[in-house]
Amino acid sequence: MGRPRELSDEERSALLAKGWRPMEVWVPDWDSPAFVKRLRQDCEAINQADSRSGELDRLSEEVDDLWIDPAP
């Protein structure tokens, strides 16, 4: 996967005149073993933090009655 075609000076000037500005966006490489490893570590840390805090249990107690259908 290479870089996209560069704009000509005319194309760039036209876009700038219309109020557009150039911007480069970096996104995660899901095929990278390093990214996948870091993602897995982060997810494990989040899951462990959730189980340690007790917040999930408290929230479950708060919403238990929301899932019960009222009697007709």
Decide if 4 is inside a domain: no
Decide if 10 is inside a domain: no
Decide if 22 is inside a domain: no
Residues 46, 62: Cα–Cα separation, whole Å? 21
Predicted local distance difference test score (pLDDT) of residue 72 = 61
Which pLDDT tens digit goes with each residue over 20-52? 999 989 999 999 999 999 999 999 998 888 777
Q: Is the pLDDT of residue 69 over 80?
A: no
Residue 66, domain extent: 28-72
Decide if 67 is inside a domain: yes
Decide if 19 is inside a domain: no
If you search the block for the tokens 């259908």, which residue do you land on? 69
Neighbours of 12 (CB within 10 A): 13
User: Contact 7/15 with Cβ under 8 angstroms?
Assistant: yes
Decide if 32 is inside a domain: yes
Q: Is the pLDDT of residue 70 over 80?
A: no
Number of domains, the chain: 1
